[in-house]
């Protein structure tokens, strides 16, 4: 019998913002412990929140072997590694004072707008430890700014937003990004051209990637339900497009360098699509064994659940060009809010765009009326794929750029 503990700790201070003022302050300090036992191809799991009696937890996990939950895979072994990516941000008292000052400036500089939602500091620690030599620890900390912005004269629930997730805090960056957004928001513009043109998605927006992510699921490929089932090893996209599963420090926000089964990839990366060639889908131990696929370390699990297959932090390779260079003298359509779109089963893409800005690749120039954007999967990531910017020119994020059809709604 192999015994394993999966421990998740979360400490958070969250400031809720209503009508551009602090409405409340909430604190969390939660520890969740899962105990796993493996025997004869089965897994038993028990979990608890808060202080735990390890002997009782172990006993309950062993008792749950009677449920005969199959897990005929070897637990991860013989690796000891700790990473700690925390940087000093604020004490709780300093944090509250800083948010008060930030909101004061926003009220003064942007009196025509209302700011709401939350800003919080989150610190987490995850451990996966077993009695066959596995001892992994990941510690991280980030400040998350999630501000919803409404124009006072607007009838909308909200009109725009600002999101920033970082290990360090910079007030000037936040204010400059919000100022740029709201200045452009007030300046109504028309499309520079009609039809196909450069369309920009922020890196954290998975809208253009969601079809590829869905079709790269190892279970879908193994059961021949994916568009890509027959394309492993084939080049289907642009030379400029590479997709990889990342656990590199710069790419991680609240995700561990190891997966829920204790798999750690060499150099914290696993390439799924390389220079347009489909290499392998993402897999967990079950999927890799069931369909004879490479193991990519894509298992996720709650502290008291059996690991299952989920995409884990899939990233597009950055190009060697900044956004201005990718646009190559053209103006671009930056998509900020696009709700209600999707890909068809065959890969045709379309979405209404509720909020989009005109940009020259260095700054936001104005706001468009509502638009619709459309394309097709193999073209989007083939001949119409322009690249991912190496810089964070717009609102502190890297950008993905495509040539897509754009029209007014």
Supply the pLDDT for residue 4.
98
Supply the pLDDT for residue 357.
98
Angle among Cα 86, 88, 93 to the nearest 5 degrees reads: 125
Average pLDDT, the chain: 96
Supply the pLDDT for residue 252.
81
The residues with which 225 forms a beta bridge, in sequence order, are: none
Determine the average pLDDT of the residues in 322-350.
96
Pairwise CA distance, residues 183 & 177, whole Å: 10
Give tens-digit pLDDT for 52-76.
Answer: 999 999 999 999 999 999 999 999 9
Which of the four pLDDT bands, split at 50, 70 and 90, describes residue 254?
confident
8-state DSSP, 188: B
CATH 3.30.2290.10 fits 2-185, yes or no: yes
Give tens-digit pLDDT for 218-234.
Answer: 999 999 999 999 999 99
Pairwise CA distance, residues 71 & 65, whole Å: 11
From the list 197, 210, 241, 209, the residue with the least C-alpha distance to 356 is 197
Give tens-digit pLDDT for 341-359.
Answer: 999 999 999 999 999 999 9
Supply the pLDDT for residue 253.
78
Question: Cα dihedral sign for 314, 319, 324, 327?
Answer: negative
From the list 91, 108, 94, the residue with the least C-alpha distance to 21 is 108
Encode burial over 36-59: b for 16+ CB neighbours within 10 A, e otherwise.
Answer: bbbeeebbbbbbbeeebeeeebbe
Determine the average pLDDT of the residues in 137-161.
96
Give tens-digit pLDDT for 164-189.
Answer: 999 999 999 999 999 999 999 999 99
| C-alpha gyration radius of the chain | 23
CATH 3.30.2290.10 segments of the chain:
2-185
Supply the pLDDT for residue 153.
95
The H-assigned helical ranges of 113-170 are none
Which of the four pLDDT bands, split at 50, 70 and 90, describes residue 15?
very high
CB distance 203 to 266 below 8 Å: no
Determine the average pLDDT of the residues in 20-41.
98
CB distance 366 to 187 below 8 Å: yes
Which of the four pLDDT bands, split at 50, 70 and 90, describes residue 334?
very high
- Token pair 């073209």 in the structure block, residue: 379
Is residue 158's pLDDT more than 90? yes
Q: What is 279-325 written as a DSSP string?
A: ---B--HHHHHHHT------EE--TTS--EE----EEEPP-SS-HHH
């Amino acid at each position: 019998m192999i015994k394993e503990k999966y421990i998740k700790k979360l400490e958070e201070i969250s400031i809720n913002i209503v009508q551009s003022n602090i409405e409340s302050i909430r604190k969390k300090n939660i520890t969740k412990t899962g105990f796993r036992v493996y025997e004869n191809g089965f897994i038993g799991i028990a979990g608890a929140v808060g202080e735990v009696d390890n002997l009782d937890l172990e006993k309950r996990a062993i008792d749950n072997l009677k449920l005969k939950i199959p897990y005929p895979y070897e637990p991860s072994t013989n690796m000891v590694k700790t990473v700690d990516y925390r940087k000093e941000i604020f004490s709780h008292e300093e944090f509250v004072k800083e948010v008060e000052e930030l909101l004061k400036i926003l009220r003064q500089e942007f009196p025509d707008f209302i700011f709401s939602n939350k800003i919080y500091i989150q610190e987490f620690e995850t451990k996966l430890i077993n009695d066959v030599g596995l001892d992994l620890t990941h510690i991280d900390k980030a400040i998350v700014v999630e501000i919803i912005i409404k124009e006072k004269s607007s009838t909308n629930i909200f009109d725009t937003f600002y999101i920033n997730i970082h290990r360090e805090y910079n007030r000037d960056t936040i204010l400059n990004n919000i100022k740029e957004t709201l200045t452009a928001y007030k300046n109504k513009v028309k499309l520079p051209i009609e039809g196909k043109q450069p369309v920009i998605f922020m890196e954290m927006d998975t809208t253009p990637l969601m079809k590829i992510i869905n079709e790269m699921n190892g279970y879908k490929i193994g059961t021949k339900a994916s568009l890509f089932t027959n394309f492993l090893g084939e080049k289907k996209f642009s030379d400029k497009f590479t997709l990889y599963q990342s656990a590199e420090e710069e790419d991680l926000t609240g995700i561990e360098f190891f997966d829920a089964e204790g798999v750690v990839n060499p150099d914290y990366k696993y390439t799924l699509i390389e220079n347009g060639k489909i290499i392998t889908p993402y897999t967990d131990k079950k999927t890799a064994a069931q369909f004879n696929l490479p193991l990519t370390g894509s298992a996720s699990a709650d502290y008291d659940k059996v690991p299952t297959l989920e995409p884990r932090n899939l990233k597009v390779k950055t190009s060697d060009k900044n956004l201005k260079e990718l646009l190559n003298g053209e103006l671009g359509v930056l998509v900020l809010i696009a709700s209600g779109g999707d890909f068809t089963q065959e890969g045709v893409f379309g979405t209404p765009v509720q909020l989009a800005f005109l940009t020259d690749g260095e700054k936001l120039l104005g706001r468009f009326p509502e638009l619709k954007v459309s394309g097709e999967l193999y073209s989007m990531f083939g001949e119409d794929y322009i690249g991912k910017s190496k810089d964070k020119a717009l609102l502190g994020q890297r950008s993905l750029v495509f040539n897509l059809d754009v029209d007014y709604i």
